[in-house]
Structure 1
Amino acid sequence: MELRQLEYFVAVAEEAGFTRAAERLHVAQPGVSAQIRQLERELGEPLFDRSGRVVRLTAVGEAVLPYARAALAAVSGMRMVADEFSGLLRGRVVMGAVSTPSVLDLPGMLAGFHERHPAVEISLVESDPGRLLDGVVTGRIDLALLGLGAPLPPGLEVRVVVDQELVAAVHPGHELAGAGPIEVTELKGLPLISLPPGTGLRTALEEMCARAGFAPHVAFEASEPYVLGQLAARGLGVAVLPESAVAAPASELRVLTFSGSGLRGRMGLVWRGGGELSPAARAFVEHARRHLPDLGPDC
């Protein structure tokens, strides 16, 4: 039995699929399948039910998964102790992010950490806020950059790094194009363009409309904030987006503020608290906090 087999087993269990596990491990999918089959032969029992569209753990797989995780954690702990004695920071850190606004120099932050700690492997993954939060909670992701809206799960710490006013953007021929600051109620019944559910911007929009007594009619969704403005410039509806994401020229788009709404979009760094991070991950979090702006208060 090899540690690589245990690592592959845990990855397939957490990703619920061989292909996603291979992508996470940066290896070929047939190699993952071969190692899992070898592990199953050594144990004499199938670890996964492969009969459905989603790979699921068998009863044996559920029973041995905690032991596989414990074995990997023990080996990681041994390496960290040895590295602390040698004074060399090693390991692997994983950062998750939704689309990154131009006001944050995320590539520069990653490059700076690599320069200071070249022996630490850095991985960057992009996903939706729900999967990122789940990754932080379960330990698959050390630090995530995502929109803030709904309350975070317990045990997580957060630092606000983006805090922007949200605005409405419309085509020059839209009925609201000539207005000054608009009331939230003027969005009622209109086709809106927003980020997907679960994002901080979408949560802020839904809460703002709920306070005004109606549910927003979101006709178009896009995962990139700047795409929202592009859709609005085509006359497809009212885009609600951060002010910095308005990339279209004034001839294609009219930008409107909200009257007295206090509608803002926030993004934050999120990580596990309580000393649960590895030395490499702790150093990475501290580096990110130094490099990226602090628009607190932390929440």
Structure 2
Amino acid sequence: MSNPWELTVAERGGRVELRQLEYFVQVARLQHVTKAAEELHVAQSAVSRQIHRLEEELGVRLFMQRGRNVQLTPVGQLFLRRAEALLGDLDRAVMEIHEFLDPEVGEIRLGFPHSLGIHLVPQVVAAFRKLHPNVKFRFRQGMYPSLIRDVIDAEVDIAFISPYPENNEQVTGEVVLTESLYAILPINHPLAKKPAINLSELKDETFVLFGNGYSLRPIVWDACKEAGFTPKIGFEGEESGTIRGLVAAGMGVSLLPEMAMYETSSMMPAVVKISEPKVTRTVGLIHRSSEKLPLVVQIFHSFLIDFFKNDYESL
């Protein structure tokens, strides 16, 4: 079998080696030849030589020297996007071949928001790996916009997301569950011991909410508007644990989904159902519309659909 680095692609009549593309991408990412050589476990001279040959084949300068660092030229920036796409396609092709031969040794790149990483993602991954112990996972957490972008840009194969995006032609998928949001209150709050409350009963309270960019913020905001008031925001947080802790400390009230209640700490608020209006969020699975899922991801996807139909238990 020939060395895979002997494979070449034609470019303006020349021949560009895949090794040159890998070296070029690594130097471009680190903006430093020596650091790139260390990451690639090769001599600095080898990296410099391959970059020089690549520039000769293309007939352009790809880098400019900036002190001890290097910086992409405008044409280098253009070429980087194409080189990364080519190497990504090659990686996926090799993975697909391995999965075709044995999908039990594949890798799944899974994205999810922080609120699902506390309980749901560990639960489903542990259940799946009992059946497929050799499958590897690579995880990526993010906020709503970044998760959609990661799926579109092929940074992840599949992602949990909330709420499910109804009108995005670049991703497709399905809603796997709908969960209720609960009011959380300081334990000494007058409403803390009630079995359920109307959300309008919190109209005069100070709210602790997620910051802008978090999908739960507009859900809570819209629910309060439906209940007839605009929430007064006193504090903001970036994680459900922070929100719970601030509420437990008496800094205000908030709404959190069921899954945010699984985690416990020394500072826990009272949890009360909301009878009116009904406040829920959807949780979906999404992947790229334009591509067929790799076989190992298809197996995981089918497992998840069955899991949420038959095995998932909410509060």
TM-score strictly above 0.5: yes
Contact 2:107 2:137 in 1 (8 A): yes
Counterpart of 2:90 (choices 72, 75, 79) is 75
Name the counterpart of 2:305. Answer: 289
Percent identity of the aligned residues? 26
Asked if 2 retains the 8 angstrom alpha-carbon contact of 1:162 and 1:266, the reply is yes
Q: Distance in 1 between matches of 2:293 and 2:64?
A: 29
Cα distance, 1:126 vs structure 2: 2.0
1:43 aligns with 2:54: yes
Of 125, 146, 151, the match for 1:136: 151
Deviations 1:159-216 (A, max 9, x none): 3334221111111333544666444344445321233433332221122233345543
2:126 is matched with which residue?
Answer: 108
Rg larger for: 2
Residue aligning to 2:180: 165
Q: Match of 2:74?
A: 59
1:24 is matched with none
Amino acid at match of 1:132: L
Query: Does residue 212 of structure 2 align to residue 194 of structure 1?
Result: no
In structure 1, what is the Cα distance between the partners aligned to 2:190 and 2:125?
40
Q: Aligned equivalents of 1:208 and 1:76: distance in 2?
A: 45
Q: List per-residue Cα deviations over 1:88-125 (Å, max 9, x = no partner).
A: 2365431112232535613314524642xx3x542112
Give the 5 Å matches for 1:171-190: 171-174=186-189, 176-177=191-192, 181-188=196-203, 190=205
Matching residue within 273, 277, 285 for 1:257:
273
Give 1:290's aligned amino acid.
Answer: D
The residue that corresponds to 2:247 in the other structure is 232
- State which of 39, 49, 57 in structure 2 corresponds to 1:31: 39
User: What's the secondary structure of 1:139's corresponding residue?
Assistant: coil
> CA separation of 1:215/1:4 partners in 2, compared to 1, >3 Å: closer, same or farther?
farther
Shift of residue 261, structure 1, vs aligned partner: 0.8
TM-fit CA distance, 1:29:
9.8
> Partner letter of residue 176 of structure 2?
V
Give the match's secondary structure for 1:198.
coil
Instruction: Kindly indicate which of the two structures has a greater share of residues assigned to strand.
Output: 2
Q: Work out the CA distance in 2 between the residues paired with 1:48 and 1:244.
A: 50
Structure 2 equivalent of residue 87 of structure 1: 101
TM-score using structure 2 length: 0.68
Distance change in 2, residues 1:149/1:200 (3 Å): farther
Task: Structure 1: state its 5+ residue gaps.
Answer: 20-26
Cα distance in 2 for residues equivalent to 1:97 and 1:138:
15
Letter in 2 for 1:102: H
Change (3 A) 1:130 1:74: closer
Contact 2:30 2:36 in 1 (8 A): no
Letter in 2 for 1:282: Q
* Other-structure match for 2:220: 205
- Offset of residue 143 of structure 1: 1.0
In structure 2, C-alpha distance between the alignment counterparts of 1:12 and 1:114, rounded to whole Å? 37
RMSD: 4.2
Q: What's the TM-score, normalizing by structure 1?
A: 0.71
Partner of 2:291: 275
5+ residue gaps, structure 2? 1-15, 56-60
Partners of 1:12 and 1:288 in 2: CA distance: 39
Instruction: Find the residue that maps to 1:144 and give its secondary structure.
Output: strand
